[in-house]
Structure 1
Amino acid sequence: MPVTHVTGIVCGNGYASGGKYQGIAPQSNIISIKILDKYGQGNSAQAITGLRWIMDNAMKYNIRVVNLSIGTNDRKINIPLMEAVNKLWARGITVVAAAGNPDSRRNFQPSPAISPRIITVGAWEDRRFFYQAQNTPIFFRRNIIPLPDIWAPGENIISTLSPDYDFALQNRDTTKIVEKYYIKMSGTSMATPMVSGAAALLLEKYPHLSPDQIKRRIILSAQYGNAQTEKGLLNISACLA
């Protein structure tokens, strides 16, 4: 997972593009916790260690939002990982996680996105893959609420290019590079930081909002959806109103 690209979506200042490719919340601060290698590989134990570090240092660094553009490949729910994100949420930290990219595994429930407490994000362009022919959601939570909670743009998102140029080219061809310092990437890993950025903007404007209040604002202000049955597209202006 290209952390440089994800970080740029949240808070890139757009300096190299004259402000053209600025992030959602450019005034926010970022703490980057390394839990994956440069090829985006890791395991749940590493993720849990990182989440525990956040728990221990949240007050020191005023951590209010956690972006998780990651997910497990296990078909079973990863209970320790679920517990880790739920503890952060209970502590007052808004956790935003990727719903996962579509594949052939029906009824696949990725952790930690399957947690009913956190905000789960899908790429708007992929929404058709989350429904069967009868328009029944493929992914379900324990309380029968379909994943994800919110959709956000996730296709050909332009953001900062990693200095690890070889990795960028290995996963995205040169035609994706934009103005030397930026690159186009797609997937829920790109959609998720858009919602994290929206959460950061909400906290900037309303610093006393709880994670539950932030989640409710984001879901109820979405476009093109019904908050009860079909989730909509992120609408940042509306959720800040």
Structure 2
Amino acid sequence: MRLTRLAGVLGATALTAGTLFTSAPVASADQVRDAQWVNQYFDFDKVWSITKGDGVTVALIDTGVKPDHPDLAGSLLPGYDPDGNGRETNPTEDHGTGMASLIAAHGHGNGEGMLGLAPGVKILPIYRGEGGSMQDGIKWAVEHGAKVINISQVTPVGADDGFAEVVAYALQHKVLVVAGAGNDAGPVRTPANVPGVLAVGAVDKNQQVWAKSNYGPELMLTAPGVDIVMAGIGSGTCTKQYCKADGTSDATAYVSAAAALVFAKYPDLTPGQVANRLVKTAAAPAGAAKLPDAHYGYGIVQPYKALTANIPAGPAQGPLAAAGAETAPSAGAETSKGSGSGGADTGRAPSPGALPNVKQSSGSSLPLILGIAGALLVLLVVVIALAVASSRKRNRAQQLPPQAGAPGPYGAQPGWPPAQPQYGQPGQQPYGQSAQQPYGQPGQQPPPPYGYPPQQQPPYDNPYQGGNQSR
């Protein structure tokens, strides 16, 4: 994310994009508010007429948040540093404080300071520096009351340390994970590409996608992420407590804030249903012929419409793709601790057996399967035995000589059955070569016994031969 300093130049309202004017005075309140073009774009006052997000907690997995920044005073909850060094509230970088301000900044009286989209929410700061584990932070956030987890960071390409499982764990506990797509104009990065994560790209004030915003089929929404004013820690880049920034980090913070507002208005919705509201009310960007679009997702987030539109709740999983998102967690269940720094997603959803807190059946279906198979085998044996017995009976009936007076093959006929030749009588030829043929005209063969051989049926078309078969 590119950061530049916000400073006053010759008393005019301006945002400097490069050089630091160390001698310039601290930016005035008017400079800060006026530079926040997003406030007018989203129409904050209109959004806040519905809700400011009170009662909702947003976890921020980042570089820590400065608790005494005047625009964030009172907005932070006790946070978490996995190493126990307290860096969640003692940051040495501006990034985390900036993301917190885009979500929950409330200014500091008399129209001074900057404003976030959801100033009523509480921020749960979770430290994750270089090489730290996001997975631990996600689990800790879930266990400490977060409804939304904002991750404005990416992980090294190629790592995969249980992200799918921990995201599924969050969804099972009705917590939405929102992550930035990345800032290198490449494919969507981890954790944004993990199934179940709401992936976010960046646009400018003209609704044009930011040139460095990562893209791909995982992208779900876009939000303002160019020329964004944010709070800082008052040292380093943001020496005057405010900066201008570009990046999907900022866009992610705005989508997290929008999700928090929806949770505040509709507390019974699942994360997937919240995402459904955000997706179905997003603004279709100019030039996107079909949505979802690889660069815009389903469009640009519109918080007011997400709060007020008549949108059916829909399925619990909504547009989120994580397996197990609808599975109810078992009470008091735990998940294994994640390790490493995460990484690129392999594209697979977690199998149900691997999901934490998914209750598995203690019994087995093997006896039932064996029982059914056994019954089918017995039935098959009985059918074969009956068929064999019937065939033998027919064969015996065909081999018995016909009795005198018995009906012929087509009913009672005179002279049927023929008298058995007595070989050795005068004028009789052996082996049936009699001068008189008993079956009619010389050379005529006797009619076959009724029903044998069976009448041949014409072959039928096999519906499974030829053509394309589905896999």
| TM-score bracket for this pair, using the shorter chain length | 0.7 to 0.9
How many Å separate the matches in 2 of 1:189 and 1:5?
10
Structure 1 residues 139 and 224 mapped into 2: Cα distance closer, same or farther (>3 Å)?
A: closer
How many Å separate the matches in 1 of 2:112 and 2:257?
17
Overall identity of the aligned pairs, in % = 29
The match for 1:80 is: 162
Do residues 155 (structure 1) and 233 (structure 2) align?
no
Do residues 30 (structure 1) and 123 (structure 2) align?
yes
How many Å separate the matches in 1 of 2:164 and 2:273?
20
Which protein, 1 or 2, shows the higher relative CO under an 8 Å CA cutoff with sep ≥ 6? 1
Do residues 118 (structure 1) and 197 (structure 2) align?
yes
Over the aligned positions, Cα root-mean-square deviation in angstroms equals: 2.4
Assess if the C-alpha contact under 8 Å between 1:67 and 1:193 holds in 2.
yes
Aligned to 2:179, the other structure's residue is in SS state strand
Larger radius of gyration: 2
Alignment of 1:40-59 (within 5 A): 41-43=130-132, 46-55=133-142, 57-58=143-144
Do residues 100 (structure 1) and 182 (structure 2) align?
yes
The match for 2:154 is: 71
Aligned to 1:30, the other structure's residue is in SS state strand
Do residues 235 (structure 1) and 302 (structure 2) align?
yes
The match for 2:114 is: 21
How many Å separate the matches in 2 of 1:194 and 1:109?
18
- Read off the aligned partner of 1:147 and give its amino acid letter: E
How many Å separate the matches in 2 of 1:227 and 1:220?
11
TM-score, with length taken from structure 1: 0.76
Q: Pick from 251, 275, 281: which aligns with 1:221?
A: 281
Q: CA deviation at 1:19?
A: 5.3
How many Å separate the matches in 2 of 1:201 and 1:93?
14
How many Å separate the matches in 2 of 1:17 and 1:42?
41
Structure 1 residues 182 and 130 mapped into 2: Cα distance closer, same or farther (>3 Å)?
A: closer
Structure 1 residues 185 and 214 mapped into 2: Cα distance closer, same or farther (>3 Å)?
A: same
How many Å separate the matches in 2 of 1:161 and 1:130?
23
- Read off the aligned partner of 1:87 and give its amino acid letter: Y
Do residues 212 (structure 1) and 295 (structure 2) align?
no
The match for 1:134 is: none
Assess if the C-alpha contact under 8 Å between 1:77 and 1:109 holds in 2.
no
How many Å separate the matches in 2 of 1:11 and 1:220?
24
How many Å separate the matches in 2 of 1:90 and 1:214?
14
Assess if the C-alpha contact under 8 Å between 1:13 and 1:26 holds in 2.
yes
Structure 1 residues 217 and 73 mapped into 2: Cα distance closer, same or farther (>3 Å)?
A: same
Aligned length: 205
Q: Specify which structure has the higher proportion of helix.
A: 1
Alignment of 1:152-231 (within 5 A): 152-163=223-234, 165-166=235-236, 168=237, 180-225=240-285, 227-229=291-293, 230-231=297-298
Aligned to 1:120, the other structure's residue is in SS state strand
Q: CA deviation at 1:227?
A: 4.4
Structure 1 residues 116 and 8 mapped into 2: Cα distance closer, same or farther (>3 Å)?
A: same
TM-score, with length taken from structure 2: 0.40
How many Å separate the matches in 1 of 2:253 and 2:265?
18
Worse-superposed segment, 92-101 or 14-23: 14-23
Segments of structure 2 that go 5 or more residues without pairing to the other structure are 1-62, 64-94, 309-471
